[in-house]
Amino acid sequence: MTAEDRLEEDVWERKYHLALERMERDEREFQAVEELLRRLALRLAALVRNPDDDVDALLGRLTAALRYGPSAASIEPLLDALSEAVTRADERAGIESPAGQSEADVGDIAEGDTATVAALRADMARLQELLAVVSARLGDMARYLAGELEETAAGEGADRALDARVREEMRELGEKTLAAADLVSLQAEVTARLSLIDQHFREHREREDARLATYRERAARMHHRVEELESQATSLQDSLRREHELALTDGLTGLPNRLAYERRMADVESEVRAGTGVACVGAFDIDHFKAINDTYGHAAGDAVLRIVGQALARELEGRAFVARYGGEEFAVVFHDASPAEAEAQAQDLCAMVAKLAFHASSKPVTVTMSGGITRFNASDSVAVAFDRADRALYAAKRAGRNRCVLV
Ligand SMILES: Nc1nc2c(ncn2[C@@H]2O[C@H](COP(=O)(O)OP(=O)(O)OP(=O)(O)O)[C@@H](O)[C@H]2O)c(=O)[nH]1
């Protein structure tokens, strides 16, 4: 995953948490408004049985408060005052309202007017029914919000718009409720407002579902892209490794090349200087190689180089490092070997090459090799040590070839 993808994921996560917090806040606000709505309906029931100027004035203030957003903090004190005003109005009208009795209970109205009591009871029943609907709808909203908390990612703009619409509907609901002339029109207003709120929620839900689907599709695409990039990175690493190996390998013999030799010698140099290792360096060269080329052709010369190089690698495997230094020359690093041990191994190598069976036009051809050996000293550089080994090699040539010289 790239830094950019991670950043984008962080942003989505932050937005998601912000959305959760806002929804929790909204849910609490809805519950508070629901409670207020119940109390408002109870006050209205009291008003039905006993109109009063004080109560009217307070209802006016309540309407104004609702117009600026039905928050629990702004409405609650007004409802308390309204409750007291209704109680006072009841007392003035000679209607008792004993402590502990429901404010909506009209059972204590003087029994003289049976028809009025019956009408009020019917109104109260419809009001209770209306409240049940209001409660159920508000409960649905709360459940919807809880569901959103679980699965919806952030959609700040859409959420804010929904927030504003629901507030507006709630405000209108409060206003119409207070202005309603009778319970029938009140019930119609409440039902209409609630279905509008329902519709807003439904539309919001559809938009959120679409947004979530887009987000999921995008996440899947990103995941796929990350997988692609990972596999590209792996194949790139493989090809870099192959390139690296090729850069250190001689194409003709398959042996490490001069660059690989120099790298190995850099390690040897550090070990020898640190006193943690000893090593000798050998320079080897096929004798009269020009004559081989001239007599049997360049391709035959290549074949000789390849066969000698592979024979050296086989012979020294696990004991020393061998590289094609250039042309018909090989370099060998004898690790943990004293000069005498390295010289003995070098003589064995020359003897081994002399025994290799070469043929040209079915006739045996003898190929020999000469070598120069030197110890790698702590004061040596890689080039100085090789020059010394090279001089020893030419001493071996001068001494008659097919031999090794130690200096
Ligand atoms: N076939 C082939 N020939 C090469 C290659 N690299 C260098 N040579 C030849 O190797 C020959 C080296 O010859 P010289 O350096 O004169 O020495 P020599 O003939 O080996 O004689 P001494 O080293 O004195 O024994 C040259 O003719 C080069 O062209 C190669 O990769 N393939």
- Paired strand residues for 406: 373
Ligand 1: distance of its center to the CA of 289 in Å?
A: 5
CB–CB of 228/235 below 8 Å?
no
What element of type H or E holds 332?
Answer: strand 329-335
**pLDDT truncated to tens, each residue of the chain (407 aa)?**
677 666 666 777 777 677 777 777 766 766 776 666 666 666 666 555 556 777 777 777 776 776 665 566 777 787 778 778 777 776 776 654 444 334 434 334 344 446 655 665 666 666 667 666 666 666 666 566 556 555 554 555 667 777 777 778 777 777 776 676 676 777 777 777 778 777 877 888 888 888 888 888 888 888 888 888 888 888 888 888 888 889 999 999 999 999 999 999 999 999 999 999 999 999 999 999 999 999 999 999 999 999 999 999 999 999 999 999 999 999 999 999 999 999 999 999 999 999 998 998 888 999 999 999 999 999 999 999 999 999 999 999 999 999 999 99
Ligand 1: distance of its center to the CA of 314 in Å?
A: 23
Instruction: For ligand 1, say whether the CB of 287 is within 6 Å of any of its atoms.
Output: yes
Ligand 1: distance of its center to the CA of 105 in Å?
A: 121
By most ligand atoms within 8 Å of CB, the mutation choice from 289, 298, 370 for ligand 1 is: 289
By most ligand atoms within 8 Å of CB, the mutation choice from 250, 290, 292 for ligand 1 is: 290
**Residues 174, 37: Cα–Cα separation, whole Å:** 8
Report the atom number in ligand 1 closest to the C-alpha of 298.
Answer: 1
Model confidence, pTM:
0.54
ipTM of the modeled complex: 0.97
Query: What tokens does 242 get?
Result: 């192959």
Instruction: For ligand 1, say whether the CB of 301 is within 6 Å of any of its atoms.
Output: yes
**Residues 324, 329: Cα–Cα separation, whole Å:** 6
Tell me the Cα Rg of the chain: 50
Give, using CA atoms, the residue closest to atom 32 of ligand 1: 302
Instruction: For ligand 1, say whether the CB of 288 is within 6 Å of any of its atoms.
Output: yes
**Residues 109, 96: Cα–Cα separation, whole Å:** 8
CB–CB of 64/74 below 8 Å?
no
Instruction: For ligand 1, say whether the CB of 298 is within 6 Å of any of its atoms.
Output: yes
SS3 assignment, position 162: helix
**Residues 394, 206: Cα–Cα separation, whole Å:** 90
Strands, E assignment, 88-206: none
Residue 226 carries which DSSP code? H
Altogether, the residues listed in the chain come to a count of 407
Instruction: For ligand 1, say whether the CB of 302 is within 6 Å of any of its atoms.
Output: yes
- Pairing mode of beta strands 404-406, 369-375: parallel
CB–CB of 78/67 below 8 Å?
no
Domain with CATH 3.30.70.270 in the chain: 258-406
Report the atom number in ligand 1 closest to the C-alpha of 287.
Answer: 25
Q: In the block, which residue shows the tokens 């629990």? A: 72
Catalytic residues: 328
Give, using CA atoms, the residue closest to atom 14 of ligand 1: 290
Which CATH number among 3.60.120.10, 1.10.260.40, 3.30.70.270, 1.20.140.10 corresponds to the domain 258-406? 3.30.70.270
**Residues 105, 84: Cα–Cα separation, whole Å:** 16
DSSP string, 180-236: -SSHHHHHHHHHHHHHHHHHHHHHHHHHHHHHHHHHHHHHHHHHHHHHHHHHHHHHH
Instruction: For ligand 1, say whether the CB of 327 is within 6 Å of any of its atoms.
Output: yes
pLDDT one-digit tens code per residue, 301-345:
999 999 999 999 999 999 999 999 999 999 999 999 999 999 999
**Residues 27, 312: Cα–Cα separation, whole Å:** 83
pLDDT one-digit tens code per residue, 201-231:
788 888 888 888 888 888 888 888 888 888 8
Give, using CA atoms, the residue closest to atom 26 of ligand 1: 290
